[in-house]
Amino acid sequence: MDYADLSARIEALCHGETDTVALMATVVCELHHSHPMCDWTGFYRVTAPGMLKIGPYQGGHGCLVIPFSRGVCGACARTGEVQLVPDVDAFPDHIACSSSTRSELVLPVRNGAGELLGVLDLDSDTPAAFTEKDAGELAAILARTFRDARGGVAA
């Protein structure tokens, strides 16, 4: 995975954009078509306190609504911490939006003011598909891309 190339493409495409949904749509498209292990790639947006709703994504259908109290995405939104899950069957309260998903990487998405805008969810049909390197590189891309984003709902 060439993160330098991905980062440069996202920066060029998103330069000057502040609309959260437009940024999410562009990031998810570039990432989904770049990362060989992504079978589903998408954002869940904070739409009300304690609630995530599906945002731009690539792949099959995702869950429409995820409360902060449930699943891997909810854990990420609730704690503000990256969730690197090599085996979703071993994650307590995993929500199976797709029965083929074996591993996940979920990262919080914040703007420069620290508002939680949502989470980025990468799902793979391969166990242990994502690494700490993926998490670190993607966290840096998200921080740069969404620093000036508008929106967000108090969690």
CATH assignment of the domain containing 120: 3.30.450.40
Residue 153 resides in a domain: no
- Mean pLDDT, 10 residues at a time, the chain of 155 residues: 96 95 97 95 96 96 93 96 94 77 95 95 96 98 94 52
Residue 76 resides in a domain: yes
pLDDT given for residue 93 in this prediction: 78
Residue 151 resides in a domain: no
Residue 154 resides in a domain: no
pTM of the model: 0.93
Number of domains in the chain: 1
The strand pairing partners of 109, in sequence order, are: 118
pLDDT given for residue 55 in this prediction: 95
What tokens does 25 get? 């749509």
Largest CA distance in the chain: 41
- Is 111 exposed, middle or buried, given 0-12, 13-18 or 19+ CB atoms closer than 10 A? buried
Residue 142 resides in a domain: yes
4 closest CA partner among 149, 122, 144, 148: 144
Domain that holds residue 105: 3-146
pLDDT given for residue 21 in this prediction: 94
